[in-house]
Structure 1
Amino acid sequence: MVGMRRSLVMVVAAVVLAPLALAGCGDKKSGGTAAWAEPGADASASAGAAPGASQGPVTESADVPINLTVTPAVGKKDVPVSSEVGFTVSGGKVTTVSLTDAAGKAVAGALRADGSSWVPAATLKAKTTYAASVTATTDSGLTKTATTTFTTMGAVGKKTGTGLYLFDDHTYGVGMPVVVEFNPGIKKADRAAVEKRMFVETTPSQLGVWSWTSSGTQAYYRSKEYWQTGTTLKVRIAVGGLPTGGGRYGDRDRAATAKIGRDFRMTVDNATKKMVVTQDGKVVRTALVSLGRKSKPSVSGTMVVMDKLASTVFDTTDTDGAAGYKTKIEYAQRITWSGQYVHSAPWSVGAQGHTNVSHGCVNVSPSNAQWLFDKTLIGDPVVVKGTGDKLAYGDGWTAWNVSWAEFVKGSALPVPDSLK
């Protein structure tokens, strides 16, 4: 399937860690960078094979009406380590693909779900010669086999940094999009090739689509509705060694397998100055709030919890100078990159439910803040309504802040009508 749930026949995911940076209310986040742990073995996917299709040595079991060509071309050198075994076939269907390295060791991999190519389970080794064999079979059982050999390129100079905001074996809220980060951003002309290499498998199946921010620094994957409780997300961002434009190559593959937990949502209404909290469709708490004052309004939109800090310090003196402040904050939950949080604000309890006095954050009482902090997961939706400012796309994990029809427009690949 092109442009949406690009999974493989077999996928094995690995650990990827992504701690978040911090900014206070009113602060701007300077990049959204993340640190990463080494992943384990990935069995996953790649996209389009190297150009220059060529017919390698062919063996047939009979006079079979099968046309079969394989890529990379025979003897091709300097092949990206992201390459997969591509093929074109007519008169039959590919039934067997094998790949071995120079020592004859078999390389694990799997066919794409649409059967268009075979993807190595992990990035290939640099400066290594590989041999591939592809067999196609007719309905009557006759076969044709084509082979090729190719050599991968050496170490690359310029790389595109990547990040996956998903932890292996963690549980997230129903609004958690799959978030991938690129530094520098991917230009429009190069996004389709990169998107083909980003795979998501959901159990139970919930088809989704990738959508890019305008800068190309982030791509989000979501389904039409929030994830179902109990969903498993299995993700591989198979861009290690992939040409990403401008002479750069993806720094490495990243993968994670995570779970979706209970359906927990927070809805804040400026008109009532209240937050209504639901779990699995039932109201479980109502909390009074104070939002951003007129000069520093809170943003309206659909956000998700991105980070949780039991105790931190908001410091805006670097950006606001003498007008800034430095304050210890408890039970802070980030919802935008630009510095808006849900947090404890004992100094504004008297205003909560009546007047907006914050610098843009959602102020709640200490008891409500602690209760929320103990209940929430990263990825729980937070909807704010009726304020004087609108959430900007990309200011946080904003995949749910646009309609589905608008979201799919951000895909770099064609989206079937069935998913629009």
Structure 2
Amino acid sequence: MALRRREVLIGFVGAGGLAVTGCAREQEAPPSPRAAAIRFDPALDSHGVNARIPGTVTVTDGTLRSVEWIDETGRALPGALTPDQRVWTSAEPLGYGHTYTAKAVAQGETGEVTATATCATVAPDRLVDVSLRSGNLVELAENDTYGVGFVLVARFDQPVDRAAAQRQLRVSTEPAVTGAWYWLDDQNAHWRPEHYYAPGTRVTIAAELFGAPLGDGAYGLRDQHISVLIGPAHVAIADDDTKHIDVFENGNLVRSMPTSMGMGGSAAVGGTVLSFWTRPGIYTVLDRKNPVIMDSASYGLPVNSRLGYRTTINHGVRISHDGIFVHALAESMWAQGNTNVSHGCLNLSPDDAAWFYDFVIPGDVIEVRNTGGDPLDIWQNGDWTILWPDWLRGGAPA
């Protein structure tokens, strides 16, 4: 009887064991190995590729073992891998007019994979450069200092599409100011703020032309970046009502100087009408020279004519592109402060002219008020004479 009970218990345990064994799960099969996948940028067989971009090779599900990016001359484009060996990027842009063959080898779970690609970059019909200048048409140098009336001039060496070119010209200031471009023609654009700069402003200009289409098959030659500083606020007010030039520094009057300005009227010489007014408007200092040779023939008045002249003048501060200077002239001291006798220049005593010459820098402001004649034109250095709404209308369309 005892034996039979033990057989029953053993049989019960065995049955339980069979039940447990029947609940076990089957083991999942391991995933299939993945092959490395290589991608080129620019993509396979690309044409007209932007010259500005670098070449890039990217691998997924693997690592790069080697990359060759060879141009049509056999030159290898230098480049570097990321630390994880998944991306290679060329160390320089692809450039103009190249045909490249790229080859990459990657290691994945299935072994080595090799891929090749070709691409061709854009080949311009012509390359265009730009010169970044101040209003005196001298090229800017890093950290130059200019007056609060500084005007930036972008001079392209060939005609360009204005809108396309303007998109590549960027001006930033610290502190920020509102400014805009004004196009004189298809090669010349000027930039200025709505109001004079604050002293100490830094103006940074970026002309990012390389790789940029500029219209009619033209592309930009190179990039340029430069910044200049704005000095103290030097503003001179030349008022024909008082016949004085009052000079201010940062809003404070520092000197008042008697002057004699343009005598007024005009003369017809060789079919050209010449004006002898000091035109009203806002001028800026362009440059200085001591001494300077003044020749009336430079603006169409023959030296041997009744009003012609050729003479050497001391402490000449040029304020217009057509020959208006603030300068010394002892011979007109009798008229300074009471009578206008010049051809258009602003005459000063030798002492005042020497002081003014030493005081000003390019970009300083001279506001001429209450004189006759036509307002100062932009080609003469009259950027600040143009009202702001009119200036905005001179920009290229967005």
TM bracket, shorter-chain basis: 0.5 to 0.7
Partners of 2:92 and 2:318 lie apart in 1 by 34
Show the 5 A alignment for 1:350-361: 350-361=334-345
1:168 matched residue in structure 2:
142
2:281 matched residue in structure 1:
301
Amino acid across the alignment from 2:284: V
1:286 matched residue in structure 2:
256
CA separation of 1:232/1:356 partners in 2, compared to 1, >3 Å: closer, same or farther? same
Displacement of 1:348: 1.2
Amino acid across the alignment from 2:152: V
1:202 matched residue in structure 2:
173
Displacement of 1:76: 3.9
Identify the match of residue 394 of structure 1 among 374, 378, 395. Answer: 378
Amino acid across the alignment from 1:176: F
Q: How many residues align?
A: 299
Report if aligned partners of 2:77, 2:92 keep a CA contact under 8 Å in 1. no
Amino acid across the alignment from 2:130: T
Partners of 1:391 and 1:122 lie apart in 2 by 50
Report if aligned partners of 2:79, 2:91 keep a CA contact under 8 Å in 1. no
Report if aligned partners of 2:77, 2:91 keep a CA contact under 8 Å in 1. no
Structure 1 stretches of 5 or more lacking a match?
Answer: 1-56, 60-70, 86-99, 107-119, 132-147, 415-420
Look up the SS of the partner of 1:125 in the other structure: coil
2:58 matched residue in structure 1:
none
CA separation of 1:58/1:201 partners in 2, compared to 1, >3 Å: closer, same or farther? farther
Look up the SS of the partner of 1:347 in the other structure: helix
Partners of 1:395 and 1:123 lie apart in 2 by 39
Displacement of 1:233: 1.1
CA separation of 1:396/1:122 partners in 2, compared to 1, >3 Å: closer, same or farther? farther
Displacement of 1:225: 1.6
Amino acid across the alignment from 1:171: T
Displacement of 1:327: 0.9
Partners of 1:235 and 1:310 lie apart in 2 by 31
Displacement of 1:267: 0.9
2:196 matched residue in structure 1:
226
Displacement of 1:128: 4.0
Show the 5 A alignment for 1:15-414: 75-79=45-49, 81=51, 83=52, 103-105=77-79, 125-128=95-98, 151-154=120-123, 158-160=126-128, 162-165=130-133, 166-186=140-160, 190-213=161-184, 215-240=185-210, 242-294=212-264, 295=266, 296-317=276-297, 319-321=300-302, 322-323=304-305, 324-414=308-398
Displacement of 1:365: 1.3
Partners of 1:329 and 1:167 lie apart in 2 by 29
Displacement of 1:241: 5.7
Structure 2 stretches of 5 or more lacking a match?
Answer: 1-36, 55-68, 71-75, 81-89, 102-116, 134-139, 267-275
Partners of 1:192 and 1:179 lie apart in 2 by 16
TM-score, normalising length from structure 1? 0.63
Displacement of 1:289: 0.9
Partners of 1:344 and 1:58 lie apart in 2 by 75
Partners of 1:193 and 1:276 lie apart in 2 by 43
Displacement of 1:235: 0.9
Displacement of 1:75: 4.1
CA separation of 1:367/1:409 partners in 2, compared to 1, >3 Å: closer, same or farther? same
Report if aligned partners of 2:53, 2:93 keep a CA contact under 8 Å in 1. no
Partners of 1:122 and 1:272 lie apart in 2 by 62
Amino acid across the alignment from 1:308: R
Deviation per residue, 1:373-397 (Å, 9 max, x gap)? 1111110111111222234432244
Report if aligned partners of 2:282, 2:376 keep a CA contact under 8 Å in 1. no
Displacement of 1:287: 0.7
Q: Which has the higher contact order (CA 8 A, sep 6+)?
A: 1
Displacement of 1:130: 8.2
CA separation of 1:129/1:247 partners in 2, compared to 1, >3 Å: closer, same or farther? closer
CA separation of 1:347/1:259 partners in 2, compared to 1, >3 Å: closer, same or farther? same
Displacement of 1:343: 1.4
Partners of 2:315 and 2:176 lie apart in 1 by 35
Partners of 2:239 and 2:279 lie apart in 1 by 11
Amino acid across the alignment from 1:152: T
- Larger Rg computed on CA atoms: 2
Displacement of 1:368: 1.0
Amino acid across the alignment from 2:168: R
Look up the SS of the partner of 1:371 in the other structure: helix
1:51 matched residue in structure 2:
none
Which deviates more, 271-280 or 333-342? 333-342
Sequence identity, in percent?
32
Report if aligned partners of 2:315, 2:353 keep a CA contact under 8 Å in 1. yes
Displacement of 1:80: 5.9
Displacement of 1:74: 6.2
Displacement of 1:281: 0.6
Look up the SS of the partner of 1:199 in the other structure: strand
Displacement of 1:123: 7.9
Look up the SS of the partner of 2:79 in the other structure: coil
CA separation of 1:289/1:184 partners in 2, compared to 1, >3 Å: closer, same or farther? farther
Which deviates more, 252-261 or 120-129? 120-129
Deviation per residue, 1:304-351 (Å, 9 max, x gap)? 111111222112236322223211122212211111111112221111
Partners of 1:183 and 1:248 lie apart in 2 by 11
